[in-house]
């Protein structure tokens, strides 16, 4: 799944990537926003196929950010990375000990959180709510 906020004048957009080629996704983006490339991608999954797709959809000078850490390597072609002047950012917070401590606090009831379960057809509406700061806690898509 690809979620994008292309420009401040565009509403957030979610595209289902399952079974679609990069060309299909470019066409969907172009139909929705008049542009078949993205200026930036924030990847929260770290799945190799999605990383490749994300880089393939970046515009010249685009930025790709991996949030979290899945696996121990990525496999992307070097030439487009350099020739199209992409920037790759990584973010990793916490470690196994931190996770263990958080799980212990949660089991003791010392961590409270709010989770809003949404369906796939509510994604765009929820992205708008996130953009305006009207979602408290975490919104989770249930398939």
Please report whether residue 116 resides in a domain. no
Domain containing 86 equals 2-93
Distance (Å, whole) CA 81 – CA 66:
15
What is the pTM assigned to this prediction?
A: 0.61
Please report whether residue 34 resides in a domain. yes
DSSP tag of 30: H
Q: Domains in the chain: how many in total?
A: 1
Q: Interhelix angle for 48-56 vs 22-33, to 10°?
A: 50
Q: Bridge-partner residues for 141, per DSSP?
A: 118
* pLDDT tens, the chain, 143 aa long: 555 544 554 566 778 888 999 999 999 999 988 889 998 888 877 778 888 899 999 999 999 888 766 667 788 888 888 898 999 888 766 677 887 888 888 889 888 778 889 988 888 888 888 888 888 888 888 87
Q: What is the CATH number of the domain that holds 22?
A: 3.40.50.720
The three-class DSSP label of residue 53 is helix
Burial class from Cβ neighbours inside 10 Å (0-12, 13-18, 19+) for residue 40 reads middle
Please report whether residue 132 resides in a domain. no
Please report whether residue 86 resides in a domain. yes
């Amino acid at each position: 799944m690809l979620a994008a906020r292309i420009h401040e004048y565009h509403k957030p957009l979610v595209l289902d990537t399952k079974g679609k080629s990069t060309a299909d996704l470019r066409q969907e983006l172009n139909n929705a926003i008049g542009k078949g490339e993205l200026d930036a991608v924030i990847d929260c999954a770290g799945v190799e196929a999605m990383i490749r797709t994300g880089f393939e959809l970046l515009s010249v000078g685009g930025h790709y950010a991996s949030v979290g850490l899945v696996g121990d390597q990525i496999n992307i072609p070097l030439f487009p990375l350099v020739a199209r002047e992409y920037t790759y950012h990584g973010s990793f917070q916490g470690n196994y000990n931190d996770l263990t401590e958080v799980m212990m606090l949660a089991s003791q009831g010392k961590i409270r959180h709010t989770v809003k379960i949404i369906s796939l057809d509510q994604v765009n509406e929820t992205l708008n709510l996130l953009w305006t700061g009207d979602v408290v806690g975490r919104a989770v898509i249930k398939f």
